[in-house]
């Protein structure tokens, strides 16, 4: 059997994070069929709204300064006059979807992402959400969350959103090393993270999440150890420990440092292993694909109760089949199809002014897509999946599964798969075995380097 070092070398290939299937690079680039999309949204809504409710993702792209590592869609400005204009545009887009839905929507989830949602004033966020929820019903098991920057999330932000039903905040911590923060242009003292965490709990938030990243420039085992020692003192309820995606061909800001400044392969994996080990010793549980949670947190409980779900918002405790994305570059998921909005504020405003949904690309799922997505989601969320002889997995999937089993990453039975403890480190690769879209472009054994970030 291969050593861990050999496994890292073997599986550190470009693979998706599987927040959808098929993944975005395999979607159609032609002009989307808006009529078909509206029909798909309406059909999914009518089939699921009463029991499940729907999810809303609001993309708020503005930031006051550029974090050079960031791969998100953002607009850098210190001009806060952009706030009301953008929020009015989101409300107009939502009004257009309300016309499609026709009936009263039951809101199960809301997530504010960015960008920096706390770029917007508490008053403007409260106005946006109050108007957005007019005429809607709130699901009794709703989960509302937002992404906050430790430097500018105020008690007023927390209170305003709390009063509207928000109970989870996710702080982008990334790393607490001064040298690393200087390299990625994200200066935020530990005291700011501590204050934000304490304010959230004092306000009544029941779940505080930290986003941390491994593989950033100048990170070392010593610096990661120091970051995690400080983080653990604050006892966040959840921690997302992501692999840094170095994609300078897409994000020019990542050219601010050299690839020689980045920990590579085995060194990078050692950073993850150290962080993971420290979290497990501190009482956190490995939920899967870079996520950790305390036993009492709903994310861990959802995994134990086999109700964990994964979509464009990452891991979630609610499995809604309709997710509507509002705002620049936001992605919607209607189970049988996906759509992404245009990526610039100017295009977004222009299409809304013409009373057009601001979508630019999408995909409508085949029966095979739905089946493969089922396997990918089950592996990512439960660590296992099953199939029947009638499913007829393709030959390439079977070959990949046998190789994964030979490497000790999974065990296979008759029509079943179970991820091993070792395999938990390679969940993306295991999911990839069911990705027939990638099999099609992988005829010669390698995926185009610039299609996805590497697994490690």
- pLDDT, position 3: 81
Euclidean distance between CA atoms 320 and 454, whole angstroms: 29
Euclidean distance between CA atoms 195 and 61, whole angstroms: 24
For residue 320, what are its two tokens?
A: 């809604």
327 near 93, Cβ under 8 Å? yes
Q: What string of H, E and C letters represents the secondary structure of 208-255?
A: EEEEEEECCCCCCHHHHHHHHHHHHHHCCCEEEEEECCCCCCCCHHHH
Does domain 23-364 match CATH 3.30.200.20?
no
Euclidean distance between CA atoms 42 and 48, whole angstroms: 10
Q: Of 338, 347, 242, 256, nearest to 292 (Cα)?
A: 242
Q: For the chain, which residues make up each domain, given as ranges? A: 23-364, 367-441
Euclidean distance between CA atoms 395 and 290, whole angstroms: 29
Tokens 């570059």, residue?
329
Q: Of 171, 275, 170, 277, nearest to 215 (Cα)?
A: 275
- pLDDT, position 364: 96
* Omega before residue 22 within 30° of 0, cis: yes
- pLDDT, position 444: 46
* Omega before residue 82 within 30° of 0, cis: no
3-state helix, strand, coil in the chain (%, to 5): 40, 20, 35
**What are the φ/ψ torsions at residue 210 (nearest 5 degrees)?**
-115, 135
For residue 251, what are its two tokens?
A: 């994000």
Euclidean distance between CA atoms 12 and 221, whole angstroms: 20
321 near 52, Cβ under 8 Å? yes
44 near 335, Cβ under 8 Å? yes
- pLDDT, position 247: 75
Euclidean distance between CA atoms 184 and 174, whole angstroms: 10
Euclidean distance between CA atoms 102 and 320, whole angstroms: 18
Q: Of 150, 266, 152, nearest to 212 (Cα)?
A: 150
71 near 105, Cβ under 8 Å? no
For residue 302, what are its two tokens?
A: 């959802």
User: At 293, which helix (H) or strand (E)?
Assistant: strand 291-293
Same fold for the domain at 23-364 and the one at 367-441?
no
Does domain 367-441 match CATH 1.10.1060.10?
no
As a residue count, the chain comes to 456
DSSP per position, 72-140:
S--EE---TTHHHHHHHHHHHHHHHHHHHH-SPPEEEEEEEEES-GGGS-HHHHHHHHHHHTTT-EEEE
Euclidean distance between CA atoms 235 and 116, whole angstroms: 23
For residue 352, what are its two tokens?
A: 């809304």
Residues with Cβ within 8 Å of residue 191, at least 6 apart in sequence? none
- pLDDT, position 445: 47
Residues with Cβ within 8 Å of residue 289, at least 6 apart in sequence? 17, 18, 310, 315, 380, 427, 428
User: Max Cα separation, the chain?
Assistant: 61
Euclidean distance between CA atoms 145 and 143, whole angstroms: 7
- pLDDT, position 443: 57
Q: Which 3 state secondary structure label does DSSP give 15?
A: coil
- pLDDT, position 4: 77
Q: What angle do CA 380, 61, 143 make, to 5 degrees?
A: 50
**What are the φ/ψ torsions at residue 239 (nearest 5 degrees)?**
-140, 130
109 near 320, Cβ under 8 Å? yes
Neighbouring C-alpha atoms within 13 Å toward the C-beta of 173: 32
Q: Which residues of the chain have pLDDT under 50?
A: 444-445
């Amino acid at each position: 059997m291969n050593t861990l070092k050999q496994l890292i070398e073997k599986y550190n290939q470009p693979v998706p994070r599987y927040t959808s299937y098929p993944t975005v690079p395999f979607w159609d680039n032609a002009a989307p069929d808006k009529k078909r999309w509206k029909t798909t949204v309406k059909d999914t809504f009518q089939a699921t709204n009463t029991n499940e409710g729907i999810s809303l993702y609001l993309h708020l792209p503005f930031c006051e300064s550029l974090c050079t590592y960031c791969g998100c869609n953002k607009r850098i400005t210190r001009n806060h006059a952009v706030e009301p204009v953008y929020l009015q545009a989101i409300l107009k887009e939502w009004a257009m979807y309300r016309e499609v839905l026709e009936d009263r929507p039951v809101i199960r989830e809301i997530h504010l992402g960015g960008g920096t949602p706390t770029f917007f004033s508490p008053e403007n966020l409260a106005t946006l959400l109050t108007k957005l929820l007019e005429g809607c019903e709130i699901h009794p098991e709703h989960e509302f969350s937002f992404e906050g920057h430790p430097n500018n999330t105020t008690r007023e932000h927390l209170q305003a959103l709390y009063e509207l039903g928000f109970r989870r905040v996710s702080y982008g911590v990334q790393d607490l090393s001064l040298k690393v923060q200087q390299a990625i242009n994200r200066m935020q003292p530990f005291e700011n993270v501590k204050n934000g965490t304490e304010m959230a709990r004092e306000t009544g938030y029941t779940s505080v999440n930290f986003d941390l990243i491994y593989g950033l420039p100048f990170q070392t085992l010593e610096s990661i150890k120091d970051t995690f020692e400080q983080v653990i003192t604050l006892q966040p309820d959840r921690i997302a420990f992501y692999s840094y995606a170095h994609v300078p061909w897409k994000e020019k800001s990542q050219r601010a440092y050299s690839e020689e400044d980045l920990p590579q392969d085995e060194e990078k994996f050692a950073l993850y292993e150290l962080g993971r080990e420290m979290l497990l010793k501190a009482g956190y549980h490995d939920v899967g694909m870079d996520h950790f949670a305390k036993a009492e947190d709903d994310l861990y409980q959802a995994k134990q109760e086999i109700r964990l779900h994964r979509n464009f918002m990452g891991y979630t405790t609610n499995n809604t089949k309709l997710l509507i994305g509002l705002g620049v570059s936001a992605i919607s998921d209607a189970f049988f199809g996906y759509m992404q909005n245009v990526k610039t504020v100017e295009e977004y405003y222009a299409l809304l002014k013409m009373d057009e949904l601001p979508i630019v690309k999408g995909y409508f799922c085949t029966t095979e897509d739905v089946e493969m997505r089922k396997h990918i989601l089950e592996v990512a969320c439960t660590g296992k999946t099953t199939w029947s002889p009638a499913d007829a997995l393709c030959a390439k999937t079977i070959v990949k599964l046998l190789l994964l089993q030979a490497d000790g990453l999974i065990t296979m039975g008759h029509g079943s798969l179970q991820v091993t403890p070792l395999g938990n480190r390679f969940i993306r690769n295991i999911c990839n075995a069911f990705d027939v879209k990638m099999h099609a472009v992988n005829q010669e054994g390698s995926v185009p380097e610039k299609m996805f970030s590497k697994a490690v």
